[in-house]
Structure 1
Amino acid sequence: MRVAVVNLGRIVTGDLASPFAAGDSLLMEGGRIAALGTLTAEQVSGADVVVDAAGTVAIPGLIDSHVHITFGDYTPRQKVVGYLESYLHGGTTTAITASEVHVPGRPKDPAGVKALALAAQACFRDYRPGGMRVHAGSVILEPGLTEADLAELRAAGIWLAKAGFGAFATPYDYAPLMRAARGLGMVTTMHTGGSSIPGSSGIWAEHVLAAEATVSFHVNGGPVAMPEEGFERLVKESSVAMQICTAGNLRTALKTARLLDEVGQPERLLIATDTPTGSGVMPLGIFYTITHLASLGGMPPEQAIAAATGNNARVYGLDSGILAPGKDADLVLIDACAGGAHDEALTAIAHGDVPAVAAVFTDGVPRFVGRSRNTPASIRNVRVAECRLPMDFSGSAH
């Protein structure tokens, strides 16, 4: 499918090094961004679908790097069906598992945790709820696992390892397995903060440093933040990516962003939701955190958007998250909400308003065009201007 998006008001790339792209249009073909900036008349006329963006802002599809996937589009924690598709209507085009820890009766023996990770990964290999990309299958590190077990998983395609819910005597005991997993090329993630479920223990900065984690999960608390002195330690004594979550402590989220800015390392800041959990299901969670950083923390909106897109993509090795030729064609059109205080998406975000989601594309396919079921209407009328396929992308069914 070849899809052209024209009449863009602005293009936010998700790349901190070059946050805006010149031009007013882009072309998607074969699941990739084929051209970005200005399209020729021939490129537009040759598209199967032409979407009139009506002056809205293009951003990369949001990447939620902390979603508690189980199996299918269902969460047993909140007993909700269809939450991932609902997140897509909040602009989230990629979800990364925070481990399948919420599977009822989850196994805790070495064979069981390996089987759980492999099964989860396999179930989402071709299943894309609402069109969302889901990276499932993170091995939960438990006593008894060996480096050989991790090597077996890595060879089978598992690339995520999670510390924080295992039955180790102390959080320091995760360190050997975490270092082994990272040595095998896996992205290692570590619960940070107070205990979030019965039977787990609090994990502080010293434990994250000892484990040499790739990502400090919900560093602002999931939902309880670690002791105050830990934030400066993680910033100054490591290169760990510091993930802040909507379902956490807002004050320490702002503190984390400020500390990383002060040392000139904003690329280490990641945004996620840490849902579904006791905090619930949050389809607009990523956008809420973006608006908090911009309106309360004074962060430029394009930098906050990068923390939820390009920064996540860099740390997790994804080909999405940045709008550039050759990248995955995951795209969201946003606008100021009708009836709000501002008439443009980025100024509305800086004001603290969640933007209207006017269209979502994943893998170069329009998933809906016109209006999200989870946000107020946009000011501008985004529409399918031309469609040469027997398909309806208007979103009228939503």
Structure 2
Amino acid sequence: MLIRNIGLLFSGDVAMPLLDADSILIEGGRITQVGRALEGAGPRIDAQGCAVVPGLIDNHVHPAFGDWTPRQNQLGWIEAFAHGGVTTMVSAGEVHVPGRPKDPVGVRALAIAAQRCFDAFRPLGVKVLAGAPVPERAMTAADYAGMAQDGIRWLGEIGLGTVRDPEEAARHARWARAAGLNSMIHCGGPSIAGSNRMGHEAVCAADADIVAHINGGPTSLSADELTKVMAGTRRANEIVHNGNPRTALHALRTLGEMAALARLVVGTDSPAGSGVQPLGILRTIAFLASVGGLDPGVAIATATGNIAHWRGLEQGIIAAGRPADLVFMDAPLGGAGRDAAQSLALGDLPGIGGVIIDGVARIVGRSRNTPPPGRIPEWTT
């Protein structure tokens, strides 16, 4: 597959967000070459000057089973996210499964079942990285080691279960890391029933790979306490759509002053009581770029390459050898922006004109959820 006539090509790399290239070659589901005026055999896509970005990654979802969420009793939410440019989702815990077990055996069983189900079921091609056990006080190091042997890679939010004190949060995060699991800790006030307030003492002590929703999920810590979290942690800090916008800006500015934007990742934290947001990642990028003043390419990196780095994923970066997960977007019709980047800087959502996942065209033409893009790629076989 050859993609040519690309306008802006965003890399997903926070250090070099914009590439000097207008063509991408794809073979076997992976990018083989990025450059200018490339030629190749197979299907051809004329981007018509649209921007191309890496497939967006939602760093914080709460799936159940199938393309259904009991949280809002909604069908088709994952496919809807694909129409918002999301090609990968990372589970922060399957917490909305009715009757979610909380004993160690049940926690392990649910995580393994979720991982296996979504490994075999990809709505519209979306990669749902599920199977994220929520730590419970009765669990031991052997539970984490056993789950890792069974294929579990992610740890759900520390603090959504019975683990709440700084010492035990640190102990469970340490066990998870020793087993090879990527960890996350809740930050802020309680959310679901049975969850806990996790303040800066517990968050900093845990030293998890991801500080979940530093702007609240949905209730935020104070700005002063959040500053302590950002100064006291050295890994990723997450801003979510379903959080506090005021403290999101505080987090953005603080990380910027710390020269630590490579630590910033974004998610929706959905499905949730706030609903299901198919355009939540796009909206968060636009919020950071417009209200927050972040360079649009860097804002895109917070939803792509930054997450890839902290989650240990191959996707999220446009470069040779990486999975061909790509989104075509352009300024929306009727907007003030001339292209996707300027639209994001002005706070408008770009229109999506196509989505490719693992080199397979999943959405051809206008997304059903975004505003109509000014330009749409032409697809030929």
In structure 2, the partner of 1:230 is: 225
SS at match of 1:15: coil
2-structure distance, mates of 1:129, 1:169: 35
In structure 1, the partner of 2:58 is: 64
> Over residues 232-276 of structure 1, what are the superposed CA-to-partner deviations in whole Å (9 max), with x where a residue is unaligned?
212222203100100000111111111111111111000100011
User: 1:170: Cα distance to partner?
Assistant: 3.7
Q: Does 1:31 align with 2:29?
A: yes
> Over residues 121-168 of structure 1, what are the superposed CA-to-partner deviations in whole Å (9 max), with x where a residue is unaligned?
000112110111110001111121110111011111111112112124
1-structure distance, mates of 2:12, 2:121: 26
Contact 1:26-1:39 within 8 A present in 2 as well: no
SS at match of 1:58: strand
2-structure distance, mates of 1:381, 1:65: 28
Contact 1:343-1:379 within 8 A present in 2 as well: no
In structure 1, the partner of 2:300 is: 305
Match of 2:19 among 21, 26, 35: 21
Matches within 5 A, 1:151-170: 151-162=145-156, 163-168=158-163, 170=165
Aligned pairs, number? 380
Larger mean Cα displacement after TM superposition, 77-86 or 179-188: 179-188
Contact 1:215-1:242 within 8 A present in 2 as well: yes
Match of 1:183 among 172, 178, 181: 178
User: 1:93: Cα distance to partner?
Assistant: 0.4
Matches within 5 A, 1:1-398: 3-41=1-39, 43=40, 46-47=41-42, 49-162=43-156, 163-168=158-163, 170=165, 172-384=167-379, 386-387=380-381
SS at match of 2:120: coil
SS at match of 1:112: helix
Contact 2:34-2:320 within 8 A present in 1 as well: yes
User: 1:177: Cα distance to partner?
Assistant: 1.4
Unaligned runs of 5+ in 1: 388-398
Larger mean Cα displacement after TM superposition, 276-285 or 164-173: 164-173
2-structure distance, mates of 1:185, 1:239: 18
2-structure distance, mates of 1:170, 1:198: 18
2-structure distance, mates of 1:247, 1:329: 29
Contact 2:366-2:376 within 8 A present in 1 as well: no
The TM-score normalised by the length of structure 2 is 0.97
In structure 2, the partner of 1:392 is: none
The AA in structure 2 aligned to 1:257 is L
The AA in structure 2 aligned to 1:260 is L
1-structure distance, mates of 2:333, 2:135: 47
Larger mean Cα displacement after TM superposition, 83-92 or 190-199: 190-199
User: 1:22: Cα distance to partner?
Assistant: 1.3
> Over residues 195-228 of structure 1, what are the superposed CA-to-partner deviations in whole Å (9 max), with x where a residue is unaligned?
1122221111111111111111111001000122
Contact 2:24-2:38 within 8 A present in 1 as well: no
**Relative to 1, partners in 2 of residues 1:14 and 1:168: Cα closer, same or farther, differing over 3 Å?**
closer
SS at match of 1:379: coil
Contact 1:164-1:171 within 8 A present in 2 as well: no
1-structure distance, mates of 2:166, 2:272: 22
1-structure distance, mates of 2:65, 2:82: 17
SS at match of 2:172: helix
Contact 1:204-1:227 within 8 A present in 2 as well: no
User: 1:307: Cα distance to partner?
Assistant: 0.3
Contact 2:23-2:38 within 8 A present in 1 as well: no
1-structure distance, mates of 2:59, 2:21: 30
1-structure distance, mates of 2:19, 2:315: 16
User: 1:76: Cα distance to partner?
Assistant: 0.2
1-structure distance, mates of 2:75, 2:340: 30
User: 1:39: Cα distance to partner?
Assistant: 4.5
The AA in structure 1 aligned to 2:32 is A
Larger mean Cα displacement after TM superposition, 231-240 or 126-135: 231-240
> Superposition RMSD on alpha carbons, in Å?
1.1
SS at match of 1:207: helix
Counting aligned pairs with the same residue, the percent is: 46
Contact 2:279-2:369 within 8 A present in 1 as well: yes
The AA in structure 1 aligned to 2:100 is R
Unaligned runs of 5+ in 2: none
SS at match of 1:275: coil
**Relative to 1, partners in 2 of residues 1:157 and 1:39: Cα closer, same or farther, differing over 3 Å?**
farther
